[in-house]
Structure 1
Amino acid sequence: MKRPSILISKILCAIIISAFMSCNDQPKEQDPKEPVKPVVLAPPEIVPISQAKNMYDSYEKRRVPLIQRYEDSINKITKRDEEFHVGRFVYYDYKTIKQYLEYIEQEAADAGVEISTLRLYYSNYPNEEYFPQSKEPIKHPRQNSIMLSPTYNDGKRDYLFYIAQGAKGKQAVPMNNSFEPINEGYSNNNDPNTKAYASFAPTTSTPKAVPAILQGQESLTLNRGTGVPPPKNQ
């Protein structure tokens, strides 16, 4: 008569253990104090891999040979022995890009403007030893590169800009699409023959600018990426 009672005890133990484990398996309720992480949607500008490959190959076919022939002709004229390799991409450390975006947002906010676009300019290092104004050495003459530069919108159009120090703090000084200062009402104290204005915050109805002297020229344009090929990792 003891066997049935032992069997019943084992069954009851199994049921209790199973119930206990199923309770532990249930998902925990989220703490209402914990912030819900938002889901970031993919921007519509992302292209399929097949399309990226197609555009890469198109550049290889339609642009690389033209650049190669031109640079080879320069080597022939100047009697240079070095082989020229056409660059295919430029890269930056991801942390550098994050720091750059935070920096330009900070400087734009301090100057009272809002960044409207981020331009990526095609560029080329001059065939010189140094940049003429800064005297900075040119590491990779003749190689293509890119420059990143923010713009702000005044209600009519986007402007490239740099930061200068005015009487009331930092000011956004607009430039045209070719990185040239806009002479009409915009300049800094580096040019004593032109007026300087300190109020450039974009508005839908543009107020009269207030004359002031601007100090310095703080660039927001990013370059100095690494081009491949060549040289790699330099």
Structure 2
Amino acid sequence: MACEGIPDKTDDDGTDYDGPPKQIISVQDAKTMYDSYTERRATIIKEFEEVEDTTQKFYPTRYGQYDYETMKHYMDFIETEAKLAKVDIKGLRFYFSNYPADGSVGNEKYARHNSFFLLPTADFNGKELGFFIRVDGDGNRTAVPVEDVVKRDNGKQRKKGNGTKQQGTPGFGSNMLLLNPVFQGGGGEDISLVLNDATMIPPPHEEDDFSN
């Protein structure tokens, strides 16, 4: 490799190799961004959380990790569901998030820690939106924008007037989307395409690739 340089094609499968994506950044730039987060975000998070709970030290999350097979499985899953719904995936959105302090979502050890989740996007009348899959009673699949049901659910909460979710509604808001990968509703089922439950570090507190 050192003598011949980077090959133009892979030897195993014969597919074209176009080189690295244009979005690749240098390790030096990555380290600079990592340090900027340490100074401008992680320190503030740590101070805030240790004021909220003075009984223990708090170590802000620095990365989340999926194993490679999980990522391949996820890509196969969303591509298959999109194909069945006759929609083309345009992108993947990485939403920053935070596990609730009460441990009601995800592993309790991640409570109060930052996380992220992935949501595929597609074109809906010229607008790129995150979506899930709705399956009707006959098994037909349709891609539905997440914002449609979130807006509908938020509207029901406003009408109720007390800031709480109505019980027994067939739709769902952001909480139900994340908590229920597949759930019944309206004679069929709604299939979430949101990927979460990564391994978050910390906790436990440990060194990472860019820490000193």
Work out whether the TM-score is over 0.5: yes
* Aligned partner of 1:50 among 8, 21, 28: 28
Question: What displacement does 1:172 show?
Answer: 1.1
Question: What displacement does 1:62 show?
Answer: 0.5
* Aligned partner of 1:66 among 32, 44, 49: 44
> Is 1:151 the counterpart of 2:121 in the alignment?
yes
Q: Deviations over 1:173-203 (max 9, x none)?
A: 11229x71557xxxxxx7469xxxxxxxxxx
Give the structure 2 partner of residue 180 of structure 1: 150
Kept in 2, the 8 Å contact 1:113–1:152? The answer is yes
Kept in 2, the 8 Å contact 1:226–1:232? The answer is no
Give the structure 1 partner of residue 204 of structure 2: 231
Give, in whole Å, the separation in 2 of the partners of 1:105 and 1:46.
24
Kept in 2, the 8 Å contact 1:161–1:173? The answer is yes
Amino acid corresponding to residue 79 of structure 2 in structure 1: E
Give, in whole Å, the separation in 2 of the partners of 1:192 and 1:120.
27
Give the structure 2 partner of residue 9 of structure 1: none
Give the structure 2 partner of residue 91 of structure 1: 65
Q: Deviations over 1:72-120 (max 9, x none)?
A: 11013xxxx2221111111110110011011100001101111111000
Q: Deviations over 1:25-62 (max 9, x none)?
A: xxxxxxxxx97332242111111111111111100111
Amino acid corresponding to residue 73 of structure 2 in structure 1: Q
5 Å-filtered alignment, 1:1-234, equals 36-76=14-54, 81-131=55-105, 138-166=108-136, 167=138, 169-176=140-147, 180=150, 191=169, 215-231=188-204
| Residue-pair matches, total | 166
Give, in whole Å, the separation in 1 of the partners of 2:87 and 2:108.
33
Root-mean-square deviation (CA, aligned residues, Å) is 2.6
Kept in 2, the 8 Å contact 1:92–1:226? The answer is yes
Kept in 2, the 8 Å contact 1:123–1:146? The answer is yes
Gaps of 5+ in 2: 1-11, 154-167, 172-185, 207-212
Give, in whole Å, the separation in 1 of the partners of 2:68 and 2:110.
22
Q: Which region of structure 1 is more displaced relative to structure 2, 136-145 or 104-113?
A: 136-145
Kept in 2, the 8 Å contact 1:121–1:146? The answer is yes
- Cα distance, 1:42–1:71 mapped onto 2, change above 3 Å: same
Q: TM-score, normalised by structure 1?
A: 0.64
- Using CA pairs below 8 Å that are at least 6 residues apart, which structure has the higher relative contact order? 2
Q: TM-score, normalised by structure 2?
A: 0.70
Kept in 2, the 8 Å contact 1:175–1:182? The answer is no
Gaps of 5+ in 1: 1-33, 184-189, 194-212
SS of alignment partner, residue 44 of structure 1? coil
Whichever of the two has the greater Rg, that structure is 1
SS of alignment partner, residue 112 of structure 1? coil
Amino acid corresponding to residue 147 of structure 2 in structure 1: N
Give, in whole Å, the separation in 1 of the partners of 2:205 and 2:66.
12
- Cα distance, 1:232–1:219 mapped onto 2, change above 3 Å: farther
